[in-house]
Amino acid sequence: MRYLSTRGQAEQKDFTGVLLAGLAADGGLYMPETWPRFSPAELRALRALPYAELAARVLAPFVGECIAFADLQAMCRRAYAGFAHKATVPLVQLDTNIYALELFHGPTLAFKDMALQLVGHLFEHVLAGRGEKIRIVGATSGDTGSAAIEAVANRQNIDITILHPHGKTSEVQRRQMTTVKADNVLNIAVDGNFDDCQDLVKAMFADAPFRAEMNLSAVNSINFARIAAQIPYYVYAALNLGAPEREVAVAVPTGNFGNILAAWAARQMGVPIARFIVASNRNDILARFLDANDMSVQGVAPSLSPSMDIQVSSNFERLLFEFLGRDAALTAQTMATFRASGKMAVADPVWRAITKDFKGYRRSDQETLAEIPRLHRESGYLADPHSVIGIAAARELGPVGMPVIAAATAHPAKFPDAIERAVGVRPPLPAHLADLYERHETYTRAPNDLAAIEACVRNFANRNV
């Protein structure tokens, strides 16, 4: 399997190269040269497998010959062995045709663990074989940071620096990052929003001398390995609901577009997913685009669902590339115009092709606060502010009579203030995080300035010199 950049000017790489590079050298995002496809018989054969075994088989075509299947299989088993639920990703029926796919049973209580627990093992395996060291830099709106840190803390060949927007994550999200005791972890609280943090990470990768000096790599969903590792749970859920004989739909609370892109990738591989429902909060750029072809950047407004407080959804570039017929030059031009003007010009036929299968949905904070107790009252299910928007979207936009998989992306205890406001009860943290509020925090405060951030990363890299 070879991978090419959405912007067409970077060299093609194999899976290992993409894993270590993260962002392509031309600023684009890596995509598989072709999508592997499973026949109905091959999909049916996956039904009886435990999740880790299914994940290994779904990932194998993307990994190719870079990693032996036995090694990949062993890494998948280790990655998911510690999850709190025996099914790893249980499906919970909420209504006749609505199912919550619980993706939060990993160590940091969010769906990012599903990919990053495995990606941590992949990094360690590849780096040990090469005798190399990398420095991961990533941006987080709340959950990626803690999941990435948990995945690579104390690994010998990796340093990790995570940028988060100062004061714009929940306290649980912040503390899950800043209380980790590991010599290879640096947390930076940036004076800005998530889009600023994401731009700083992309700028570090675009600074070729700095990128080479630091041997940078990425754990954000700009790294295709993250997307690949999210595909298996959509395959697993669809098979459990009757695929390949039965079509399903998915509803996903979406910020950076990676999670729902993984569902779309599952369809490219043969899983019969008929509709993709993009659930947003007040930061509704994706919903506006899907409703009216209005992909225009507005100010990021803080919300009860901070992981969706995003205006520039990086992974949308991957979908755009596909719907532009894989025209890399046109993709690069469209993204350059979007960056310069804050508005994406998508031709009407292309927009109509996208919206044939993708539907947008939005909920304000007040609507979210009303939705949490309604769901709890009617189904006995307590959902966090992100998941509940996806569940509401599934209820309102799911095709009649078709099972809808609503991605439950975070444990309600990650957002205790919002849950308490909504239902009057403060959900307790699981036992392994029970003392989180008493743990000592360590992080660096920094301005929204590339030179300042690069200095922090460089000083951390040279701390033992």
382: confidence class by pLDDT, cuts 50, 70, 90: very high
Q: What is the mean pLDDT of residues 140-165?
A: 93
Identify the CA nearest to 399 among candidates 359, 367, 371: 359
In this structure, how many other beta carbons lie within 10 angstroms of the beta carbon of residue 412?
26
d(CA 279, CA 362): 6
Q: What is the DSSP letter of 410?
A: B
Q: Which two tokens stand for residue 142?
A: 């709340």
Of the given ranges (138-142, 256-260, 461-465), which has the lowest mean pLDDT? Answer: 461-465
Say if residue 154's pLDDT is above 80: yes
Q: What is the mean pLDDT of residues 443-452?
A: 97
Question: Which of the two residues, 366 and 142, has the higher pLDDT score?
Answer: 366
- The answer to whether 10 touches 41, Cβ cutoff 8 Å, is no
Say if residue 368's pLDDT is above 80: yes
Of the given ranges (86-95, 214-223, 279-288), which has the lowest mean pLDDT? Answer: 214-223
Identify the CA nearest to 55 among candidates 294, 283, 265, 230: 230
Position 233 scores a pLDDT of 98
Share of the chain above pLDDT 70, in %: 100
Position 143 scores a pLDDT of 86
Q: CA–CA distance from 58 to each of 221, 233, 266, 271 (Å)?
A: 18, 10, 9, 11
Q: What is the DSSP letter of 13?
A: B
Residues 268-302: tens digit of each pLDDT: 999 999 999 999 999 999 999 999 999 999 989 99
Q: What is the mean pLDDT of residues 315-333?
A: 98
Amino acid in the structure at residue 393: A
Q: Strand 295-296 relative to strand 343-344: parallel, antiparallel, unpaired?
A: antiparallel
Residue-averaged pLDDT of the chain: 96
Say if residue 171's pLDDT is above 90: yes
Position 383 scores a pLDDT of 98
d(CA 18, CA 132): 15
Say if residue 27's pLDDT is above 90: yes
Say if residue 125's pLDDT is above 90: yes
Buried b vs exposed e over 224-252: b needs ≥16 C-beta within 10 Å? bbbbbbbbbbbbbbbbbbebbeebbbbbb
Q: What is the DSSP letter of 182?
A: -
Whether 112 is a known active-site residue: answer yes
Position 255 scores a pLDDT of 87
351: confidence class by pLDDT, cuts 50, 70, 90: very high
Position 141 scores a pLDDT of 84
Of 13, 86, 112, 133, the active-site residue reads 112
Q: pTM value?
A: 0.95
Which domains, ranges and CATH numbers included, belong to the chain?
Answer: 91-109+224-423 (3.40.50.1100)
In this structure, how many other beta carbons lie within 10 angstroms of the beta carbon of residue 357?
14
